[in-house]
Structure formats: structure tokens, C-alpha cells
């Protein structure tokens, strides 16, 4: 059985309607000493994931109410594993910032907005990230990364 939502989260879910999800920025690169087509140690690279809800804001839309905008940063990188605590040897990175916009149908307290932003907005962004990561891996000749439908920790 799915866990029960908190009162704040449930109120936000009931009063926010998804309007748009779009990519704000992206960054992809391979290190100068790394060629994915000929790198012989590819199976030894570790894949690290990043998922950060960067911020949220409400904006007034002229004569049309309010929108909630949630900024989500996602990323994947391929690194050489290391036993020490030094900076990782990053071979490739794909990152992107997305914005999810929601129409606000009724006034919400900041606690409701914060909980929704942290716990729910990423579910709307995730399919766009999966598609972007998959296509960038192909374009850059990086190994395919298969992401699950959704993966978030509470």
C-alpha cells in the first residue's frame, strides 16, 4: 500500500495543476583524455546520479492568477573509482535544469508549497530527464543508462 501523504502535501496536490515542464539549461562534456568509443575501461567506471530540488517560487500571471515554479537539477556522471577522498576523476557528465510550472487554484501556505516542491514536483520532471539523458548518451556515444520510471528517496 502506498504511504499516506501528509496534510500539507495532500492540500498542495489538490490545489496545484501541472501547466508545463521544460528544460532551462543543460551541460554535457567528456574529459579531454576520454573517448567513449575507444575507452577500454568503460565497465570499471562508476555512474553517479544527482537530483536536487534547487528552489521554488510563485509568480503572478497578469490577470490569470498565480503559478508555482519548481526548479529541479538532475545529472549523471561517469567517474573512475578511487579509494582516497580526493576529487573524483570525472570522465563524462550530463546535467540539466528543469522547471515545472503549476497553476495555483487556491491559496497555499509556504509549508504546503515546500513539501510539494521537495516530494512531488520531481515526478513530473523525471520522464523529461530520462528522455534527455538517454538521447544525450546516444549522441555522445556514452553507455546507455537505464533509469527506472521514478526513483526518489523520501
pLDDT surpassing 70 at residue 1: no
Q: Is residue 1 part of a domain?
A: no
Whether residue 108 is contained in a domain is answered as yes
Strand residues in the chain grouped as ranges (E): 16-30, 46-60, 66-80, 89-104
pTM exceeds 0.75 for this model: yes
Q: Does residue 42 belong to any structural domain of this protein?
A: yes
pLDDT value at 143 more than 80 = yes
State the CATH number of the domain containing residue 133.
3.10.420.10
The answer to whether residue 109 sits within a structural domain is yes
- 106-119 pLDDT, tens digit per residue, is 999 999 999 999 99
Structural domain containing residue 63? 7-140
What is the count of structural domains for the chain? 1
Amino acid at each position: 500500500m502506498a504511504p499516506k501523504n501528509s496534510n500539507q502535501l495532500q492540500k498542495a496536490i489538490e490545489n496545484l495543476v501541472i501547466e508545463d515542464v521544460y528544460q532551462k539549461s543543460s551541460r554535457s562534456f567528456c574529459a579531454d583524455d576520454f573517448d567513449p568509443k575507444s575507452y577500454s575501461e568503460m565497465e570499471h567506471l562508476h555512474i553517479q546520479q544527482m537530483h536536487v530540488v534547487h528552489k521554488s517560487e510563485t509568480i503572478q500571471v497578469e490577470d490569470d492568477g498565480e503559478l508555482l515554479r519548481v526548479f529541479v537539477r538532475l545529472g549523471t556522471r561517469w567517474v573512475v573509482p578511487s579509494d582516497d577522498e580526493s576529487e573524483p576523476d570525472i570522465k563524462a557528465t550530463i546535467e540539466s535544469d528543469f522547471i515545472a510550472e503549476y497553476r495555483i487554484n487556491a491559496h497555499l501556505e509556504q509549508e504546503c508549497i515546500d513539501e510539494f516542491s521537495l516530494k512531488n514536483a520531481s515526478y513530473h520532471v523525471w520522464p523529461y530527464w530520462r528522455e534527455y539523458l538517454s538521447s544525450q548518451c546516444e549522441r555522445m556515444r556514452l553507455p546507455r543508462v537505464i533509469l527506472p520510471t521514478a526513483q526518489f528517496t523520501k
